[in-house]
Structure 1
Amino acid sequence: MTVSWLNEFDERLSALDVQALRRRRREVVPEQNARLNVDGESLLAFCSNDYLGLSQAPALREAVHAAVERYGVGSGASPMVSGHSVANAALERELAEAVGLPRALYFYAGYATNASAVPALVGEGDALFSDALNHACLIDGARLSKATVHRYRHADLQQLDALLAASPARRKLVISDAVFSMDGDVADIAGLHALCERHDALLLLDDAHGFGVLGPQGRGALAAAGFTGAEASPRVLYMATLGKALGVAGAFVAGPERLVEWLLQKTRSYTYATAAPALLAEAVRASLRCVLGADGEHRRQQLQARIMQLRDGLAPGADAAVDAAGWTLMASSTAIQPLVIGDNAAALAVMAVLREQGLWVPAIRPPTVPVGTARLRIALSAAHEPADVDTLLRALRIAARAIGAQGQTARAPLATA
């Protein structure tokens, strides 16, 4: 009897277990502030991308309740048919104004936006240039495009310059995260733009982790770099998600009128997907008002204070046990604070020690990060109180004493330290 290849999946799953790479979901219910009920246990969470703590804000709840009364629940169809509600249209106008660009297009999900927008911009015979640490959605979009993909070393603009210069392609697209999701560093947007100008390339920026947090009034990394309003560039497309600092769901792409119109016509995840419900658009509109107002500024100040508190607490010399463990807090001024442990099993062990003390801090392992750089991805929020960060620091010191250097293995050099 022939053994089906489907039986191999048991062995493949076992191999994931051996490498400490199997992932599992938890069932969660939000609680007050930065706490989550996880599988029935109340935990202090440092895992959410809700950087401003807006996902549970009363203003957003009220907007959703009012929208349900007016629009119901589902959108019913693609935006190209009957799903483009007046709420969605209003949101697009307000997003474009917020980021200082001529036009915006609202999508139901961030991953689908990039995975489909990239193939709409370039195709076979074109050239695409991708930062080595770009998010998976940009990588998948590059693969789907069938363009010739050139992968440059993380943040290495000199190599990118050489690759652009050597490419004979007429159409060139550079794609990059604005804030890198696992390292927390910010791209050199001015440098990327200068290279695109020099080589007649288009730049697509994914600011999933910067919009709402960076720049004047939280208008994002592109605004922080000065490429909006009167200084907006005709060769930049700006993408950002609405489920992180904005606390809701979805994404948008903003930029020159003709490029956004092209995406509306050719992006398959827009044309062939059911539109985001109006209730979500109304929630985002309420969130955007918070972000751009005094409340948003207060939340950003709170977040920045927690970032500095954590970095001071993990600075070299702050604790002997943490120093001896050999862990590396990567250079980041954003809400993403990666603490590199190194070995997969050791990272899981540290996570488990923290869980025993009532904290949820996720261990991130390959292929999400390079082999040998498994880490705790500490995500800070304006919802965290000073006492919450103090609790985390104490728990990390306990973990360092419990596991420490004995859990270390040789690891590859870090791109940033």
Structure 2
Amino acid sequence: MDTEATEGTGEFLLPRSRAANERLHSLVPGGAHTYAKGDDQYPENLAPVISHGRGAHVWDVDGNRYVEYGSGLRSVSLGHAHPRVVEAVRRELDRGSNFVRPSVVEVEAAERFLATVPTAEMVKFAKNGSDATTAAVRLARAATGRGRVAICADHPFFSVDDWFIGTTPLSAGIPAATTDLTVSFPYGDLAATEALLTRYQDEVACLILEPATHTEPPPGYLAGLRELADRHGCVLVFDEMITGFRWSEAGAQGLYGVVPDLSTFGKALGNGCAVSALAGRRDLMERGGLRHAGDRVFLLSTTHGAETHSLAAAMAVQTTYAEEGITARLHALGERLAAGVRDAAASMGVADHVVVRGRASNLVFATLDENRQPSQRYRTLFLRRLLEGGVLAPSFVVSSALGDADIDHTVDVVAQACAVYRKALDAGDPTPWMAGRPVKPVFRRFA
């Protein structure tokens, strides 16, 4: 059934989801296999447990239907159970999914990927983004003989591995000696980055960053990083987990025309199937191969890295993007949604407090308090109203499966949420409308 918005009467309940969450916490640390999916990210007792999804909609175990945004943490860009992807996966499952030698699907998938991302010369597939980014770091260290890694401080996540997680508040269990090898630079500031490279002259193996996020790169910035990396002898790595396909089929590097030495892709690549990719220059990538005379790099070697059904899904995704103009559609949908949300916020007098940001294909929202500072408490109020209105939206990242009616419904629900937001601002306290503890950031030291 579709859920209708309420005015905080307590009528919107998720008893089966709540019970399922309790079962999850008793069996799975954190109650989810991905921290960003944890129930602490949602209002108290309003964390839906999903039964199934189709297109732009999901249903929870209580029978409520939602318009879903940010599907699969941005991975399901074509919508759930996309027929073309499902058909490709099913075909390979019927033929066997993993063998003792490479499948012909592996060469077909590599050829297709490199045709889609022509700035890369070789590719190796894996199952998740962390494996790919860590392989890039290892390869850069091997190629340069240097130990330090420079990460962009303004980008939230690169890997579950020690070289990155040790820099976050969740650093328990990671030796300081490992964390000390990771340094950071600010996005968009070439002078600060050059100062860092000068301070650690001949020590930095690579610069790793997302080429773009909620802001466009300043003019000349990416080209400037390319020049700095060349001048200081370090490897330039673009993390294209999010920008890949959503910015262009060839990622941000294809859109902005700056070629990194290495790049990593995932998320949209498989439309929810587990597949990621490390791609880049042949002379670097071949260090993980068998056709060179130098020291070998243990690059990527995973039992399930080349499962045929996931590679088939990736090829189906790339075909769909190319033939149906998916990137353009994502931008058009996002532009319509952003305009509607901004209008709704303005009409309720909260345009300075509910703020939509980012590229149209990758929209996020900020919830600001009376002093226009980010607020988890106001985010709780906002998420609660969206859920009550049948909108599941940790972000406003669109999928191509959304229709005009979905966006219209979302904007209507946002308007209702903004009306309550205005009341809370006028009262100077959102607590009466939160109905429980505030949502929490993923990266925090204590539970």
Question: Which of the five TM-score ranges fits, normalised by the shorter chain?
Answer: 0.7 to 0.9
Matches within 5 A, 1:7-406: 22-23=40-41, 26-39=48-61, 40-48=63-71, 49-50=74-75, 52-53=77-78, 55-70=80-95, 72-73=96-97, 75=98, 82=100, 84-100=102-118, 101-122=120-141, 126-138=147-159, 140=161, 142-143=163-164, 148-180=181-213, 183=214, 185=216, 188-215=221-248, 218-227=249-258, 233=259, 236-243=261-268, 246-263=271-288, 266-267=297-298, 270-293=300-323, 295=324, 297=325, 299-315=326-342, 319-323=346-350, 326-341=353-368, 342-362=374-394, 377-404=395-422, 405=425, 406=428
Instruction: Name the TM-score, length of structure 1 as normaliser.
Output: 0.75
C-alpha contact 1:103 1:260 (8 A) present in aligned 2: yes
Could you tell which deviates more after superposition, 184-193 or 28-37? 184-193
Letter in 1 for 2:86: R
Q: Deviations over 1:125-144 (max 9, x none)?
A: 53322111334334746348
C-alpha contact 2:89 2:310 (8 A) present in aligned 1: yes
- Give the whole-Å Cα distance in 2 for the aligned partners of 1:328 and 1:98: 34
- Give the whole-Å Cα distance in 2 for the aligned partners of 1:178 and 1:151: 15
* Cα pair distance change 1:274/1:300, threshold 3 Å: closer
- Give the whole-Å Cα distance in 2 for the aligned partners of 1:192 and 1:240: 20
How much has 1:23 moved relative to structure 2? 4.4
* Cα pair distance change 1:352/1:318, threshold 3 Å: closer
Aligned residues: 358
- Give the whole-Å Cα distance in 2 for the aligned partners of 1:332 and 1:239: 20
* Cα pair distance change 1:330/1:262, threshold 3 Å: same
What SS is found at the alignment partner of 1:212? helix
C-alpha contact 1:122 1:147 (8 A) present in aligned 2: no
Would you identify which runs of 4 or more consecutive aligned residues in structure 1 move more than 6 Å?
144-147
How much has 1:382 moved relative to structure 2? 1.6
Alignment root-mean-square deviation, CA:
3.2
- Give the whole-Å Cα distance in 2 for the aligned partners of 1:193 and 1:141: 26
- Give the whole-Å Cα distance in 2 for the aligned partners of 1:150 and 1:385: 44
What SS is found at the alignment partner of 1:275? coil
How much has 1:329 moved relative to structure 2? 2.3
Query: Is there any run of 5+ residues in structure 1 with no aligned partner, and where?
Result: 1-12, 14-19, 77-81, 228-232, 363-376, 410-417
* Cα pair distance change 1:147/1:93, threshold 3 Å: farther
What SS is found at the alignment partner of 1:339? strand
- Give the whole-Å Cα distance in 2 for the aligned partners of 1:146 and 1:83: 38
Partner of 2:12: none
* Cα pair distance change 1:349/1:153, threshold 3 Å: same
- Give the whole-Å Cα distance in 1 for the aligned partners of 2:154 and 2:416: 32
What SS is found at the alignment partner of 1:329? strand
- Give the whole-Å Cα distance in 1 for the aligned partners of 2:193 and 2:160: 16
Task: Report % sequence identity.
Answer: 17
- Give the whole-Å Cα distance in 2 for the aligned partners of 1:378 and 1:267: 39
How much has 1:350 moved relative to structure 2? 1.1
